Structure 1
Amino acid sequence: MVDASQFEKLTTVAKADGVQQLVVGAVVQHEGKVLLLQRPDDDFMGGIFELPSGKVDPGESLDDALRREVKEESFLDISAIREYIGSFDYESGSGKKSRQFNFSVDVRAAEPIELTEHDAYLWAPLHDDLPVTDAVKDVLQKYRELRAVRRD
C-alpha cells in the first residue's frame, strides 16, 4: 500500500522539477483486464484511450485526487491504492508542464461503469497491444512487471 509520505514526496519532487500541473492516473484491473476510457473526439488528444485520470485540484492530496477522479470518470469507488507505478511528463492542452502519477488501485466493484467525461470504455486484456499512448503503454508494462514480481 502507498502511504502518505510517498504521496508528499512525489508532490515535492514534481514542484522542484518545475511541474505546473499534477495529474493522477489509475490502473484499475479486474479479472486480468485493465479499464481504459476513450476521450471525446473534440477534446485534447480526442479519441485516444487512457487510464482513468485527471488533474489534482489546488490543496488536494494525490490520493484524494485519485479517488475523486476515478469516481468522477467511471463511478467506481477505490477501496485501496496498492502501489505507485511511475509517472510521465507531458505538455497539457493549455501548455502547462504536467506530470501524471500512476497507481494501481482496487475498486469495490468493477460494474456498473457510468461515463461522464468519456465517450466509451473497455476492459482490455493486459497482454494485448492496447490502443493507448506510448506513455500509458510504458505504465502498463511496468504494472505487468510488478505483478510478475509479486507472484514470484
Structure 2
Amino acid sequence: MDQPALLEELSVEAERDGVQQFVVGAVVQHDGKVLLLRRPEADFMGGIFELPSGKAEAGEALDSALIREVEEETGLDVAAIRDYLGSFDYTSGSGKKSRQFNFAVDVTAAEPIKLQEHDAYIWSALADEPPVTDAVKGIIGKYRELQVE
C-alpha cells in the first residue's frame, strides 16, 4: 500500500464530497478476534460497540490520527498500519458530515486495555456476527476477506 499517496487521495476526495469531520477507525486483531469498544449510555449512540476510533485534529494526517486515537482509547501502541478497509459516512452528534476511514493495524501487545472514553470492551471472534452497526460490519467483513486471500 502506497500509504502517503493513498492518505492524500482519501483526504482530497472527502473534502471534495463536503465532509466536515475526518474520523479514523482501527481493526485491532488478536488471536482471530477483533477489539470492540462500548460507548457509554450517555454518549451519542450510547451502548453500541464500535472500533477504536476518533476524530482527526485540524491539519492532522490520517495515519497520525489513527495511531493517536488507538493509544488514547485503548492504551495500545500501533506497530504498523497494514490495510485500508474502506470508509463510511454519517452525521455526527454535532450535525457534521463525517467520514470514518478504517484501517487494519498491528499493535505491539494486545493487553492491557486501558479504556478512557468507553465503558467496556470485548474481543469478538472474526467468525461471529459482531454486535456493531451495519457500517462497521461491512468494515469487519472487508477485513475478513483480506485474511482469506
Which secondary structure state, in structure 2, belongs to the residue aligned with residue 13 of structure 1? Answer: helix
Q: Is the contact made by 1:2 and 1:84 (CA closer than 8 Å) also made in structure 2?
A: no
Structure 2 distance, partners of 1:113, 1:99, is 26
Structure 2 counterpart of 1:35: 35
Which secondary structure state, in structure 2, belongs to the residue aligned with residue 137 of structure 1? Answer: helix
Q: Is the contact made by 1:2 and 1:83 (CA closer than 8 Å) also made in structure 2?
A: no
Structure 2 counterpart of 1:26: 26
Structure 2 counterpart of 1:105: 105
TM-score, structure 1 as length reference: 0.96
Structure 2 counterpart of 1:14: 14
| Counterpart code for 2:137 | K
Which secondary structure state, in structure 2, belongs to the residue aligned with residue 10 of structure 1? Answer: helix
Which secondary structure state, in structure 2, belongs to the residue aligned with residue 93 of structure 1? Answer: coil
Structure 1 counterpart of 2:64: 64
TM-score, structure 2 as length reference: 0.98
Q: Is the contact made by 1:85 and 1:104 (CA closer than 8 Å) also made in structure 2?
A: yes
Tell me how large the CA RMSD over aligned residues is: 0.7
| Counterpart code for 2:109 | A
Change (3 A) 1:133 1:2: farther
Cα deviation digits, residues 100-127 of structure 1 (max 9, x gap): 0000000000000000000000111011
| Counterpart code for 1:19 | V
Structure 1 distance, partners of 2:52, 2:75, is 11
Structure 2 distance, partners of 1:51, 1:2, is 24
Flag as ranges the 4+ runs of structure 1 deviating above 4 A: none
Please list, as runs of the form range in 1=range in 2, the aligned pairs for 1:70-89 lying within 5 A after superposition: 70-89=70-89
| Counterpart code for 1:51 | L
Structure 2 counterpart of 1:46: 46
Structure 1 distance, partners of 2:89, 2:3, is 23
Structure 1 counterpart of 2:4: 4
Give ranges in structure 1 of 5+ residues lacking alignment. none
Which secondary structure state, in structure 1, belongs to the residue aligned with residue 121 of structure 2? Answer: strand
Change (3 A) 1:2 1:124: farther
Structure 2 distance, partners of 1:49, 1:109, is 21
How far 1:39 sits from its partner (Å)? 0.2
Which secondary structure state, in structure 1, belongs to the residue aligned with residue 116 of structure 2? Answer: coil
Change (3 A) 1:132 1:2: farther
Which secondary structure state, in structure 2, belongs to the residue aligned with residue 130 of structure 1? Answer: coil
Structure 1 distance, partners of 2:48, 2:22, is 20
Cα deviation digits, residues 46-84 of structure 1 (max 9, x gap): 000000000000010000000000000000000000010
Percent identity between the aligned chains?
Answer: 68
